[in-house]
């Protein structure tokens, strides 16, 4: 059997060697129509017994068990060896559902999109191919999906018309609404549109194409009106600024007519020309229309780099003032005297004096901003501690807002047990880790 198959393949290859030797082509868009036959019985017999048994008993593709129909096709080449194919087919049957048969035949509609993998491109007379894709079906009130797998053979005529035959095994994706079956077809396809006819070449140009009085044979620019002085070419514009060299005072540098072909001047050499420069005599930047980047607080740090553009500061502190050590010390001392009711975010009355000191420090300098950080030890679940620390930090923030501190100056955040400052293995360490930190900045 294997020898017969090998001999058949060799014969097919020898036949294909006689096909056209032109460059591989990509199949143009085309339509096709085919006669189809579906075999549900053969596929069912294979699944209930075996392929060898069905072949031995000649139960596959029997005419009496097959349902006829018609199919419409659309083909479009993706590459010389791959075609996209869309098929819409209809046939009349009683067996389109698994394990069910009806007394009355009904229309089975099937539509699929597939790729045809051609072993030889269309410039060969014979083009065998493999098929794989995805499809959908409708039978009575049932909708299903299937995978078409198989192969085909296409005979190509010189007119781009072709005859094709296919055999597929359609595998259901929705087992309850579609059945295994064999699908075979024979059909014809042709071009979707006529090939474009190439336009005839333009007529021979006249002896003086540009009509400048200089014949083409002596014209260095036969299609552009020019002067005899420049061998039939226009007056040159070396810098391509639209002003010819005879009128251009700066023929090597692109400019404008207002300045006789020279560029718009840039007095301060900052890259912004004088017509767009609001600070003509002081070097600046384009985003400020040629003026320097402003320094609102005159602290030597321009506003773009100044974190406190309205308050004079130092370069070392990015344009912000330094918070005095005395204020920092007072704020750190106050933070150590903020207490809460155990296990809650409610402030203890013992915190009132410390919080009053914080309010005073913030009122003394309206430019100060305060970051409030809540921290816990490692006792209890991390999630609970994170929530508790956040609530405690916001309790301090709420207290300060209620005392008249602008909320925009305050930021509160809980860190839970993530940032210990002491060993959580000891009671003293855990006590230090249960804290509120107050950090000042401008």
In 3D space, the residue among 35, 36, 18, 37 whose CA is nearest the CA of residue 156 turns out to be 18
CB 263 within 8 A of CB 254: yes
β-strand 435-441 against 82-93: which pairing, if any?
A: unpaired
Residues 84, 133: Cα–Cα separation, whole Å:
10
Q: How far out from the chain centre does Cα 275 lie?
A: 42
pLDDT of residue 205: 61
pLDDT at position 11, please?
46
pLDDT of residue 15: 45
Range 204-226 burial, b when 16+ CB lie within 10 A, else e: eeeebebebebeeeebebbeeeb
Q: How many CB atoms lie within 10 A of CB 271?
A: 12
325-441 CATH fold: 60s Ribosomal Protein L30; Chain: A; (3.30.1330)
Secondary structure (3-state) at 135 = strand
Counting Cβ atoms within 10 Å, is residue 142 exposed (0-12), middle (13-18) or buried (19+)?
Answer: middle
pLDDT by position in tens, the chain (length 442): 334 433 444 444 444 444 444 457 888 999 999 999 998 888 888 888 888 888 887 878 888 888 899 999 999 999 999 999 999 999 999 888 887 888 888 999 999 999 999 999 888 899 999 999 999 999 998 999 999 999 999 999 877 789 999 999 999 998 888 889 899 999 999 886 555 556 677 776 678 888 888 988 888 899 999 888 888 899 998 999 999 988 999 999 998 998 989 999 989 898 899 888 899 898 989 888 899 999 898 888 998 888 888 888 888 888 899 899 999 999 999 999 999 998 899 999 999 999 999 999 999 999 999 999 999 999 999 999 999 999 999 999 999 999 999 999 999 999 999 999 999 999 999 999 999 999 999 9
3-class secondary structure, 393: helix
Reduced to 3 states, what is the DSSP secondary structure of residue 129?
strand
Three-state secondary structure call for residue 7: helix
Spatial distance between the Cα atoms of 337 and 355, rounded to a whole number of angstroms: 8
Q: Name the CA radius of gyration of the chain, rounded.
A: 44
Query: Do 399 and 336 contact (CB within 8 A), yes or no?
Result: no
Q: Which residues pair with 149 in a beta bridge?
A: 132, 169
Distant-in-sequence, close-in-space partners of 209: CB < 8 Å, separation ≥ 6: 216, 219, 222, 223
213 three-class SS: coil
Name 237's Cβ contacts closer than 8 Å, sequence gap at least 6.
243, 244, 245, 248
From CA 148, how far away is CA 167, in angstroms rounded? 10
| Cα–Cα distance for residue pair 191/389, rounded to 1 Å | 75
pLDDT in tens, 402-430: 999 999 999 999 999 999 999 999 999 99
In this predicted structure, what is the pLDDT of residue 219? 85
Q: Is 287 exposed, middle or buried, given 0-12, 13-18 or 19+ CB atoms closer than 10 A?
A: exposed
34-51 tens-digit pLDDT: 999 998 888 888 888 888
pTM of the model: 0.42
Pairing state of beta strands 106-118 and 82-93? antiparallel
Task: Report pLDDT for 406.
Answer: 96
CA distance 48 to 382: 61
Q: What is the pLDDT of residue 4?
A: 45
β partners of residue 131: 116, 150
Long-range contacts formed by 171-176: CB under 8 A, 24+ apart: 171/146, 171/147, 172/98, 172/144, 172/145, 172/146, 173/134, 173/144, 173/145, 173/146, 173/147, 174/143, 174/144, 174/145, 174/146, 175/98, 176/98
Q: Are 409 and 386 in contact (CB under 8 A)?
A: no
Give the phi and the psi of residue 202 in degrees, each rounded to 5: -65, 155
Q: Which of 292, 289, 373, 302 is nearest to 331 (CA)?
A: 373
In CATH terms, are 22-191 and 325-441 the same topology? no
95 in helix, strand or coil? coil
**Domain ranges, ordered by start, for the chain:** 22-191, 325-441
Q: Work out the angle at residue 160's Cα, subtended by the Cα atoms of residues 157 and 163, and round it to the nearest 5 degrees.
A: 55
Q: Alpha-carbon distance 29 to 119, whole Å?
A: 20
User: What fold, for 22-191?
Assistant: Porin (2.40.160)
261 in Cβ contact with 249 (< 8 Å): yes
In 262-409, beta strands by DSSP E: 369-375
End-to-end CA distance of the chain: 91
């Amino acid at each position: 059997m294997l020898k017969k198959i090998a001999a058949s393949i060799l014969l097919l290859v020898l036949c294909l060697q006689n096909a056209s030797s032109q460059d591989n082509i990509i199949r143009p868009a085309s339509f096709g129509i085919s006669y189809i036959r579906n075999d549900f019985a053969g596929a069912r017999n294979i699944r209930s017994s075996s392929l060898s048994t069905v072949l031995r008993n000649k139960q596959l593709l029997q005419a009496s068990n097959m349902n006829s129909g018609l199919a419409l096709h659309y083909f479009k080449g993706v590459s010389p060896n791959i075609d996209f194919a869309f098929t819409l087919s209809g046939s009349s049957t009683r067996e389109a559902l698994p394990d069910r048969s009806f007394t009355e035949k009904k229309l089975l509609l099937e539509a699929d999109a597939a790729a045809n993998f051609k072993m030889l491109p269309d410039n060969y007379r014979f083009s065998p191919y493999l098929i794989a894709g995805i499809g959908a079906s409708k039978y009575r009130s049932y909708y299903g999906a299937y995978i078409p797998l198989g192969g085909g053979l296409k005979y190509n005529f010189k007119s781009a018309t072709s005859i094709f035959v296919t055999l597929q095994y359609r595998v259901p994706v929705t087992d309850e609404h579609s059945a295994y079956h064999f699908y075979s077809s024979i059909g014809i396809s042709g071009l979707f549109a006529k090939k474009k006819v190439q336009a005839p070449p333009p007529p021979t140009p006249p002896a003086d194409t540009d009509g400048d009085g200089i014949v083409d044979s002596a014209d260095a620019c036969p299609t552009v009106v020019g002067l005899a002085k420049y061998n039939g070419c226009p007056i040159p514009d070396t810098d391509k600024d639209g002003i010819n060299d005879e009128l251009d005072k700066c023929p090597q540098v692109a400019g404008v007519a207002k300045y006789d072909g020279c560029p718009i001047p840039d007095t301060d050499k900052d890259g912004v020309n004088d017509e767009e420069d609001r600070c003509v005599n002081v070097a600046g930047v384009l985003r400020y229309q040629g003026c320097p980047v402003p320094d609102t607080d005159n602290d030597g740090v321009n506003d773009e780099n100044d974190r406190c553009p309205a308050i004079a500061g130092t370069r070392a502190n990015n344009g912000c003032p330094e918070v005095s050590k005395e204020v920092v010390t007072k704020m750190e001392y106050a933070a150590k005297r903020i207490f809460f009711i155990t296990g809650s975010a409610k402030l203890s009355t013992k915190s009132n004096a410390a919080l009053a000191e914080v309010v005073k420090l913030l009122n003394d300098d309206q430019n100060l901003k305060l970051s409030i950080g809540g921290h816990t030890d490692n006792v209890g679940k991390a999630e609970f501690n994170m929530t508790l620390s956040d609530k405690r930090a916001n309790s301090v923030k709420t207290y300060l807002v209620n005392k008249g501190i602008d909320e925009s100056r305050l930021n509160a955040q809980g860190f839970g047990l993530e940032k210990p400052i002491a060993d959580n293995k000891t009671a003293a360490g855990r006590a230090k880790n249960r804290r509120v930190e107050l950090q000042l900045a401008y």
